[in-house]
Structure formats: structure tokens, C-alpha cells
Amino acid sequence: MKKTSPSIDTWLKEAKQDPRAAQCGMFLTHNGVVRETARARVREGDESAAAVTGMHFSYDEEKVNAAIEKAYEMEGIYYIKVWLNEGELVVGDDIMFVLIGGDIRPHVVDALQALVGTIKNECVVEQEKTA
């Protein structure tokens, strides 16, 4: 069942109240959204791929938690929060939010890229739907 998206403003306020916040010089967010352009078109250049009208989205919570723990092992990372939607989504719906806080920009950028990549490649199932 589709979930209500969180407030990034609220997330940032909570993050800045966390005991580890004093070690964070940067917070970076990712907001994945269902897009109309098919994965085959943007990733593989398949111009014949039909437009997407939505997707069925699910995830393995244990794998996501393991990915978060692994991201905490990266240098300079002190705060992580992840939200994943689920169920039947339509174009424009939020798929995921990720917030990472760390000491310096290169560490936070690397951690965000690694965590989102792991979630997308190993923890979720996205089944695109077309008209």
C-alpha cells in the first residue's frame, strides 16, 4: 500500500537534534520519483520503450537495513535516514527519500551515491507499468 511521503524539513530538524549532529558539516538528500521515461530508454537508449504510467514497488527491509549499516561504516558518516514507498505508484509519486549527514562533502556525496546505488540494485523491486 502506497505510503505518505515524509517531510524533508522535519527530517533535517530531527537530524540536527541528533547527538551526532555536531560532527556533521553537511546533510545531503536524495528524492527518487516515478518518471514517465522507461528505464530501458534512459539506461539502454531503447527509443522504442513505451512511456511509463506507474510502477509496482517493493523492498526487502533486512537488505535495506544492512545497506544502511554498511554506509555507516564509511569514513565521516554520522547520520542516515531512509524512507521507501511501496505498492502501486504513479508518475510523480515519491519512491524513496535518503538523508545522509557527515563531516565533509566528499564523504557525504560518496556515501549517498553508494547507499542509493545499493538500495536500487540490491534491495528493491521496481516493475514499470505502461499504457
Sheet holding 87-90, edge to edge: 87-90, 52-59, 124-130
Q: At 54, list the grid cell.
A: 506507474
Helix 105-118 / helix 61-72 crossing angle, nearest 10 deg: 160
Show me where the domains of the chain are located.
8-130
pLDDT in tens, 22-36: 999 999 999 999 999
Residue type, 76: G
- Looking at the DSSP bridge assignments, the partners of residue 6 are none
Query: 39: pLDDT confidence band, cut at 50, 70 and 90?
Result: confident
At 84 the pLDDT is 98
From residue 72, give the alpha-carbon distance in Å to each of 84, 90, 96, 102.
Answer: 18, 32, 19, 10
**Contact in structure between 82 and 3 (CB atoms under 8 Å):** no
Distance CA 38, CA 47 (A): 9
At 38 the pLDDT is 86
**Contact in structure between 39 and 128 (CB atoms under 8 Å):** yes
At 85 the pLDDT is 98
Inform me whether the pLDDT recorded for 123 exceeds 90. Answer: yes
The CATH code belonging to domain 8-130 is 3.90.1170.40
pTM, to two decimals: 0.94
At 1 the pLDDT is 86
Measured in residues, the chain has a length of: 131
Distance of CA 27 to the CA centre of its chain: 14
Of 91, 25, 85, 4, the residue nearest 55 (C-alpha): 91
